[in-house]
Chains A and B, each alone.
Chain A
């Protein structure tokens, strides 16, 4: 018998973020027109901290459903809640550093970051596809708007428009997928879908529905071949926003993908593992080969994020509890280092992106040893060199792949890591080479308290993951253990029965 828990506690981080978002908007409305909006950012930081604390606290709740089986808090949802709250916290600090008092729409920017975070958190805790869809929309709408926040440059609106059009297309796929799955199984609850499939309800439309769900989510995580929007959007969006949208919505979408394939369709794994296998190979290869040709740092990192999505999908295809744990761990490692590198880019380039090309970063370490060193550190982590989070991320992923017999996938992944090292090192050498006389010298603003905090969080996070990965890994294992039905043997009926009893 599961003890009764107040349902509101199961959505506590979401409630906190919503309240702080509304508070930011109200405060924005009553503040004098000329006054600085930065205090609102600190208010939002406070909200993110409170949500982080609430997410950690949720670990003490017994796992279970709330609101008529629509949301579920378990080790898995808490894991991703903490990750998302952390990313939002760091991104808010980066935004606070990058913006000036005269930046337009700051109150709305901070509020949208918080609202978007609510959507992403719901994505990770929802076990009802309808709520997943709404949460996905909240997260997407906020990011569409934030992508176009720099109205003065032509790239901003272009980026927002591209993101919006392709994003709604992908959302339509996702929604159609839900509709087809509902048609096949008569339910939109993830555990009930699993039991309906176990009971033999597998008409042809369920495969098409599953494929459409994967297409929709593949877009959101920018896996190839659904990646074309990524470089343009990252180039046009303000850097602090990119720090957020290249990590948090992706982590949330990966969580949804994990929930859907392992929670709802574990019995159809014969059909979705090949799809994910190909997505992984394409993402890694296209991402890394695309990055080789880039001269713009943000576009380069966009392609690198496509490649990293590919590494993550390798862990998905591994089809084991280790694979889920590796995917969750990789999501954390990737998020921390990517947010970190965008913290540096956002500070050096500013809200208006003064530095764009790799050549612009030439000699960064000479002008600011701190920034240059930190950026080189994150590049090393992105390559996956030991003592950084990136190393253990890749290590666990490939080990999981090898254990599941996916030798070719692991080999392709390792070759890709080799290719990736080349372009990351190209940026790193540019940072440490002496600035040429002809290159224009941009004055670097002094690092603010907010930036230093963000850097401390991300650098220490990457180091901890690289030296003591045990803590995060055991949480990731606990998260993976919520899917007891991952073994290829059709033993999931036990869990789905437990799921259905848990909701009553």
Chain B
């Protein structure tokens, strides 16, 4: 947020993604961690860098420490404090929320996707179709494509 150049911000975001992946791996969620690494660090970060490259977003000259920025920071800190307090006082969460890591995580993820969550899985396909139509429409209607909007819609 404090970096002036957009590319640096994108790279910082990539580092954040990688950090999240490390967190997942630490928690024993190998699949989520590796997927995070592949999808976010591997694909999304590249996409963002490309979007910046293609749109040539001019670097903003204004200072980041504006009054509204300060208010935002205070608000964010307050929200964090409340959430941290809530999570802290909740103590041990519902035991069912921390299942023992299954011996074959991939296999159980596949099974649960094909059984309990089969309908949501199918419906996601529809959501992606709608999002894709939207991206194409927004990008192609005017002859000049707008990468920003493509990326925005596909990020959904």
Q: A residues touching B (Cβ–Cβ < 8 Å)?
A: 11, 18, 25, 67-71, 104-105, 108, 111-112, 115-116, 118-119, 122, 128, 130-131, 134-135, 137-138, 141-142, 144-145, 148-149, 151, 160, 164, 168, 180, 182-187, 196, 201, 203-205, 207-208
B90, A112: Cβ atoms closer than 8 Å: no
**Pair B94/A185 contact, Cβ less than 8 Å:** yes
Given contacts A71-B119, A168-B156, A208-B82, contact A141 B127 (CB under 8 A): yes
**What are the residues of chain B within 8 A of A134 when measuring CB–CB?**
120, 123-124, 127
Cβ contact within 8 Å between B127 and A196 = no
Chain A nearest CB: distance from B154 CB in Å?
Answer: 11
A145/B96 contact (C-beta < 8 A), A134-B124, A138-B126 known: no
- Contact yes or no, B156 A112, CB < 8 A: no
| Residues of chain B contacted by A208 (CB below 8 angstroms) | 82-83, 86
Other A-B contacts than A141-B156, A142-B134, A205-B93, 19 sampled, CB-CB below 8 A, are: A67-B118, A68-B116, A69-B116, A108-B133, A108-B137, A115-B129, A118-B126, A131-B120, A134-B124, A141-B130, A145-B137, A145-B138, A145-B153, A183-B90, A183-B94, A186-B94, A196-B94, A203-B86, A204-B89
Residues B71-120 near A (CB distance < 8 A): 82-83, 85-87, 89-91, 93-97, 115-120
- Supposing A104-B141, A186-B93, A186-B95 touch, asked if A135 and B123 sit within 8 A by C-beta, the answer is yes
Residues from chain A with a CB closer than 8 A to the CB of B96 are 185-187
Partner of B87, one of A105, A182, A186, A205: A205
**Residues in B neighbouring A18, C-beta threshold 8 A:** 126
Residues on B facing A (Cβ under 8 Å): 82-83, 85-87, 89-91, 93-97, 115-120, 123-124, 126-127, 129-131, 133-134, 137-138, 141-142, 152-153, 156
For residue B90, which residues in chain A have a CB less than 8 angstroms away from its CB?
183-184, 203-205
Among B83, B93, B97: residue with most chain A CB under 10 A: B93
Asked if A201 contacts B94 (CB within 8 A), the reply is yes
A164→B138 CA distance, assembly (Å): 13
Please give me the residue from chain B that is nearest to A199 by CB atom. Answer: B94
Which of B94, B127, B138 lies in contact with A119, CB distance below 8 A? B127
CA distance A25 to B133 in the complex (A): 10
Q: Is A145 touching B82 in the complex (CB atoms < 8 A)?
A: no
Residues of chain A lying within 8 A (CB to CB) of residue B117: 68, 70, 130
Please state if B86 and A205 are interface contacts (CB–CB under 8 Å): yes
Closest A residue to B117 by beta carbon equals A130
Residue contact A105 to B141, C-beta cutoff 8 Å:
yes
In the bound complex, what is the Cα–Cα distance between A122 and B126 (angstroms)? 12
Find out whether the CB atom of A148 lies under 8 angstroms from the CB atom of B97: no
Cβ-neighbour of A111 out of B91, B133, B141 (below 8 A):
B133
Listed from nearest, the 10 A-B pairs whose CB atoms lie closest are: A186-B96, A203-B90, A145-B134, A186-B94, A67-B119, A186-B97, A204-B86, A68-B116, A138-B127, A115-B130
30 CB-based A-B contacts, threshold 8 Å: A18-B126, A68-B119, A70-B117, A104-B141, A108-B137, A115-B126, A115-B133, A116-B130, A119-B127, A122-B123, A130-B120, A131-B123, A134-B124, A137-B127, A138-B123, A138-B130, A141-B127, A149-B137, A151-B142, A160-B138, A183-B87, A183-B97, A184-B93, A185-B97, A186-B93, A186-B96, A187-B96, A204-B85, A204-B89, A208-B83
Docked CA distance A168–B155 (Å): 11
Chain A residues in 8 Å Cβ range of B138: 145, 148, 160
Q: Across the interface, name the chain B residue whose C-beta is closest to A68.
A: B116
Contacts of B118 in A (CB 8 A): 67-68
Contacts of B87 in A (CB 8 A): 183, 205
Tell me which of B83, B116, B120, B131 contacts A141 (CB under 8 A).
B131
Tell me if A70 and B116 are in contact (CB < 8 A).
yes
| Residues of chain B within 8 A of A160, CB atoms compared | 138
Q: Tell me the minimal C-beta distance from B135 to chain A in angstroms.
A: 9
- Measured between beta carbons, the chain B residues less than 8 angstroms from A118 are 123, 126
Are A142 and B130 interface neighbours, CB within 8 A?
A: yes
For B134, what are the chain A residues with a Cβ–Cβ distance below 8 Å?
112, 141-142, 144-145
A11 to B119 Cα, complex, angstroms: 10
Query: What chain A residues lie within 8 Å of B124 (beta carbons)?
Result: 134
Report the Cα distance A204→B130, complex, angstroms.
37
How many angstroms from the CA of A281 to the CA of B89 in the assembled complex?
32
A87, B48: Cα distance in complex, Å = 39
* A196 partner residues in chain B, CB cutoff 8 A: 94
In the bound complex, how far is the Cα of B87 from the Cα of A184, in angstroms? 9
Distance A142 CA – B131 CA, assembled complex (angstroms): 7
**Which residues of the other chain, B, contact A115 by a CB distance below 8 angstroms?**
126, 129-130, 133
Residue from B86, B123, B127, B141 whose CB has the most chain A CB atoms within 10 Å: B123
Known: A144-B134, A204-B86. A183 touches B119 (CB 8 A): no
A148 to chain B, nearest CB (A): 7
Most chain A CB within 10 A, of B82, B119, B133, is at B119
List of B residues within 8 angstroms of A138 by Cβ: 123, 126-127, 130
Interface centre among B85, B133, B156 (most CB of A within 10 A): B133
Closest partner residue, chain B, to A204 (CB atom): B86
CA distance A11 to B126 in the complex (A): 14
Question: CB-CB < 8 A to B156: which residues of A?
Answer: 137, 141, 168
Which chain A residue shows the least CB distance to B98?
A: A186
Chain B residues in 8 Å Cβ range of A205: 86-87, 90, 93
> A187 — which chain B residues lie within 8 A by C-beta?
96
| A105 B119 Cβ-Cβ under 8 A | no
